[in-house]
Amino acid sequence: MFDDKGNTNMEHCRFTKGITTPQSSATGRRFTPEQITKLFLEHPELRLSDDSSNIELATMLMVESEDTDLQEMLTFIVNSNRIAYLNSGDVFWGNYPPKGGVCYPKDFIPLGDMPTGDPIGLVISQLTGNVLLVGPTKSAKTSLLSILLSFPELLKTVRIVAFVKKQELRHLATIPHLYGLITVFKLGELVLCYFEPPPGVPEEAWNNESNRIFAQCYERYSAQRLMGEKVSELMANHPAGTYPTMRQLVNVLDAFKPRFGMREAGYKESILWCLKDLLNCTSTGGASIWDHSSSTFLSELHSTPGLCIIEAEALGQEHLSFIATYFMRWLYLKRVYAGEEAI
């Protein structure tokens, strides 16, 4: 058995469990056909299948298991590959495809290299879902994102909206080959009308969705019904092309007088606290980005490809998550009702 003394990495212990390797022909130990099969099938971290000569060697040894030279050759390869795995410190060592084993399409964007030497990245035509970049602080997440966002082929194809807490992406706008593809907004420069439905979306459908977004982002599920009722009242007789604002909703809720002891009193305070705090945190000179009765901002934003950077340094995380969710759900419903592919 491999000697795992002193190895505190449980992943290493798990991967190497059960591997028997003869140290020399003098010991008299041999790989049996069953052990050889397990090496290839149960220990991907050894990457034995990457080299066709290893497969050929294993095939010969399964037939001639008493051949000392073949036994020593396989022992040397297994030990060498195991050392390479342990030195890598990478628990995903066995998951990388063999070198040269990946066929890259024309719209492939390389972002780095795998340990095998082959590039790793994204395919523009396959960006129909979510991409998650995770890692500890100072692990180069922003640097990797900057590399991705500096490809003009990507920015000329899709619309990307980046919400940032620091001014760490605006330098991309100074790159010559990205000229005209990047727009930077400060939070106070946004012009939004929350209760105006996306083009083609029925007002009733958007009323339900806008209430649901608010309830989910601020965890005000119980108060969702009260907010929905007040929004419906505001939307009932609004002039064509003009929609209620969040501040108008605050005024309606302030004027609402629930009976003493009713749960609506708690719901009212819960909603008002979130709405007022949102308006205060997104206001400049007394006017909030939500104080607009109509807006084409999102329609114009999504009409062309490119990168839109929205800097919101001082905004609380719960409010930033709410705005980002609103942007995504607005586009989603627009595409659903337009019969487009909703991504």
DSSP-derived secondary structure for 115-132: TTS-EEEEEGGG-SS---
- Angle at alpha carbon of residue 295, lines to 293 and 299, rounded to 5°: 155
Q: Do residues 227 and 343 both lie within one domain?
A: yes
Mean residue pLDDT of the chain comes to 86
DSSP per residue over 51-95, as a string?
SHHHHHHHHHHHH-TT-HHHHHHHHHHHHHHHHHHHHHT-TTGGG
Q: Do residues 220 and 133 both lie within one domain?
A: yes
pLDDT exceeds cutoff 60 at 8? no
Q: Do residues 204 and 316 both lie within one domain?
A: yes
**Residues 140-158, mean pLDDT to the nearest whole number:** 88
Q: Do residues 132 and 82 both lie within one domain?
A: no
User: Mean pLDDT lowest for which of 2-11, 126-135, 268-277?
Assistant: 2-11
Note the pLDDT tens digit of each residue in 292-301.
Answer: 999 999 999 9
Note the pLDDT tens digit of each residue in 88-105.
Answer: 888 889 999 988 888 999
107 found inside a domain: no
How crowded is residue 293: how many other Cβ atoms within 10 Å of its Cβ?
15
Q: Whose structure tokens read 């009242």?
A: 233
Distances (CA, A) of 97 to 91, 103, 191, 307: 14, 11, 47, 32
Q: Do residues 81 and 144 both lie within one domain?
A: no
**Residues 319-323, mean pLDDT to the nearest whole number:** 95
Q: Would you say 86 and 102 are in contact if contact means Cβ atoms under 8 Å apart? A: no
* Exposure on the CB side of residue 229, measured as CA atoms within 13 A: 10
Q: How far, in Å, CA of 30 to CA of 21, rounded?
A: 8
- Angle at alpha carbon of residue 23, lines to 20 and 27, rounded to 5°: 95
pLDDT exceeds cutoff 80 at 272? yes
Beta strands in the chain (DSSP E): 108-113, 119-123, 159-164, 182-186, 283-284, 287-288, 306-311
pLDDT category of residue 166 using cuts at 50, 70 and 90:
confident
User: Helix, strand or coil for residue 288?
Assistant: strand
Q: Do residues 50 and 145 both lie within one domain?
A: no
What the block records as the tokens of 56 is: 């050929």
pLDDT exceeds cutoff 90 at 336? yes
How crowded is residue 77: how many other Cβ atoms within 10 Å of its Cβ?
19
pLDDT category of residue 168 using cuts at 50, 70 and 90:
confident
Q: Whose structure tokens read 């591997």?
A: 19
pLDDT category of residue 202 using cuts at 50, 70 and 90:
very high
173 found inside a domain: yes
pLDDT category of residue 341 using cuts at 50, 70 and 90:
low
pLDDT exceeds cutoff 90 at 5? no
| 91 against 289, higher pLDDT | 289
The model carries a pTM of: 0.72
Q: Do residues 27 and 160 both lie within one domain?
A: no
Q: Do residues 182 and 84 both lie within one domain?
A: no
116 found inside a domain: no
* Number of independent structural domains in the chain: 2
Note the pLDDT tens digit of each residue in 57-85.
Answer: 999 999 988 899 999 999 999 999 999 99
Note the pLDDT tens digit of each residue in 215-230.
Answer: 999 999 888 899 999 9
Boundary-marking domain end, from 78, 95, 112: 95
104 found inside a domain: no
- Most confident of the ranges 3-7, 17-21, 75-79, 261-265: 75-79
Dihedrals phi, psi of 28, to nearest 5 degrees: 85, 0
Dihedrals phi, psi of 197, to nearest 5 degrees: -70, 155
| 133 against 189, higher pLDDT | 189
How crowded is residue 155: how many other Cβ atoms within 10 Å of its Cβ?
20
109 found inside a domain: no
Q: How far, in Å, CA of 207 to CA of 87, rounded?
A: 57
133 found inside a domain: yes
The residue range of the domain holding 231 is 127-343
